[in-house]
Structure 1
Amino acid sequence: MSSVANIIRVYQRAYVLPEHLTEFLRATMRFYDAVPTIRFAMPAQDMHVIGLEAASVSFSVVSAAEEHLAPLRDTEQTILVADVDQALADVLAAGGRVVQPKTPVPPGFQARGQLPGGTVIEFAQWDHAEAYQDPDLSDLGIG
C-alpha cells in the first residue's frame, strides 16, 4: 500500500488552552462551517481532543494545560491512516525518522514521524472510534 492509499483524512492541528476551548470551537465551527466528528480524553494529561470537519479543512483540536501542550506543538498535522505501521514505514522510506513509536490511544493507535525538512506528523489509526464519534459538546456550551 502506498502512503497516499493509506491516508484517510488530513487534520490541521490546533492547540488550545482549556479556558479558551469553548470560544475557539464556536468561532472555528462558525467560520469554517465545521462540525464536531470525534471527541476523546486522555486523562493522564487532562487532555481533550476534538475533531472538527468542514468541506474545506479539518482540525484536530488538542486542549490541555500548557505543560502538556508544549511537547506537542511541533506536530503540525494529524493524518488519519488505515495502518500506523505502514505510515511509519513510509516516513522512513522517504528519508524521515520515527519521533514516537506506535502507542495506544482511546480510539486506536497513534505515532509520530518527521519528514525530511522537519515537518512532524501524528498518524492516527482509529480502530475503536465508534464510541467517540458524533460527540456531544453541550458540557462546553455548544449544542
Structure 2
Amino acid sequence: MPQHEDRVLYEFLILESMQAGLSWRTILQKRENYPQGYQGVDPLRISQFGYQEIEEMLQNQDIIPHRGKLEASLKATKIFLEIQKEHGSFATYLWNFADGKTIHNHRTSLSEIPVTTALSEQLRKDLKKRVIWEAFFAVRRKDFFYLFCIS
C-alpha cells in the first residue's frame, strides 16, 4: 500500500537504521516499544534530544540500546526535518523520485530482488549529499529499494 504519511515513513527509517546487524524478527518484536522510547516517534520532539536523553535510551532494553545507532538517528532526524521544510513533506521528497507513482515489481521470489536499482541509487546519492546517508550509516542500499516497494 502506498505510504504518504511522514510519521510512518520516519518510523520506517528509524527501524531500518536499527535493523543493521540484527534480524528483522528482533526489530519487529521491539517495534511497539519505539513510540514510547522515541517520544511517539515524533521527529520534532526527537530533534531536541541531547546527551541525557541518549543516556536514558541506552538504558531502555525495550528498544535497541546502541549508542551509534541512536546518535545517528538523532542526526538523521534533523535532516529529515530539513527535507520536510524544503519539500513540504518527507513523503513529497520521496515520491518525487518515483514521479509520484507506485512502482509495481513483478517478482516472484526474494532472490529476484536486486541489491540496488537506478532509483534507489538516485535517492542514496541525494541523501548522501545531505549527509543523511552517513547519519543512517546502517541503512543499506537494498533498504532504499525496499522503501520504494513499501511506499
Task: Give TM-score scaled by structure 1 length.
Answer: 0.30
Relative contact order: is structure 1 or structure 2 higher (C-alpha 8 Å, sep ≥ 6)? 2
Greater strand share, structure number: 1
Greater helix share, structure number: 2
Task: Give TM-score scaled by structure 2 length.
Answer: 0.29
